[in-house]
Amino acid sequence: MEHVPTQKVQRELDEINEKLRKDVIRTIEPYGLKKIVDLGAMSESERTKWFFWNLHENIDEIRKCEPALIGQVIRTQLTVSDGQSLWTEKCGLEKRLELSCKWQLLVKDGTYQNEEAYAISDGWIDLSVGQCPPPHPTLQENQKGYLDSDSKLYPNQLYLYGWITEGVWDEVKDQLYNASANCHTDIFIRDNFLFPVKPEHNFVTGPAGSIGIINIEFRVSSQPRLTSWVKQ
């Protein structure tokens, strides 16, 4: 009987969150209902809305197109603080990696399995660096982050909040700081690691209407980045 109040509170919280989610998703429904063939004629922000709506409301169908996201890293900033934490009462070393990026959406044609790349919103990636999930943002045990868009401060932008381990940071930091024009780094997120934040996916958390992430790939290359194949 002791667990009943807790379960009731959680159920009420889930209902509130679901109402907020539906309110957000309802505003982008006109874009989400468009077909894949319409993506080429849509603006970058409209494609972002299409992607978010379909992940939330049409996930089984959109998975057939194997949608993936690529964040092309444009600028890098590492912040290291030592002392009182911004998020807890503890003191110590904290690292945050901020990446300005241009996002792309990859989808496959259902008939011919041709992969098309579409430019979507610009944005940024904010990653805590450490051996365990950060106190902020609050994430589930096996969650690496979440995607959100259209904040009040930065409309029509796509941003990712999450975390990576020190081991990952050690592997990619030299590449991120490489000044050669022939070197570049991309963040790659596969469709099977993306889940809408909603009650049936309780292994991810995030703001209303966001998308949870359970795996983040860093792709480093020693060749110039090609952009001619991306539809603007």
Q: Does 21 have pLDDT greater than 70?
A: yes
Q: Does 113 have pLDDT greater than 90?
A: no
Beta bridge partners of 106: 68, 117
What tens digit of pLDDT does each residue of 167-178 get? 999 999 988 887
Quote the pTM value: 0.88
Q: Does 111 have pLDDT greater than 70?
A: no
What tens digit of pLDDT does each residue of 130-140 get? 988 888 888 99
Between these two residues, 90 and 167, which has the higher pLDDT value? 167
pLDDT at 227: 56
For the chain, give the mean pLDDT. 87
Q: Does 229 have pLDDT greater than 80?
A: no
Per-residue 3-state assignment (H helix, E strand, C coil) for the chain = CCCHHHHHHHHHHHHHHHHHHHHHHHHCHHHHCCCHHHHHHCCHHHHHHHHHHHHHHCHHHHHCCCCEEEEEEEEEEEEEEEEECCCCCCEEEEEEEEEEEEEEEEEECCCCCCEEEEEEEEEEEEEEECCCCCCCCCCCCCCCEEEEECCCCCCCCEEEEEEECHHHHHHHHHHHCCCCCCCEEEEEECHHHEEECCCCCCCCCCCCCCEEECCCEEEEECCCCCCCCEEC
Q: Does 200 have pLDDT greater than 70?
A: yes
Q: If you average pLDDT over residues 112-132, what whole number do you get?
A: 88
Q: Does 153 have pLDDT greater than 50?
A: yes
pLDDT band (50, 70, 90) for residue 7: confident
In this structure, what are the phi and psi dihedrals at residue 222, rounded to the nearest 5 degrees? -100, 15
User: Half-sphere exposure (CA, 13 Å, Cβ side) for 26?
Assistant: 6
Q: Does 2 have pLDDT greater than 50?
A: no
- Among the residue ranges 35-39, 164-168, 213-217, 221-225, the one predicted with the least confidence is 221-225
Q: For residue 180, how far is the Cα from the chain centroid?
A: 27
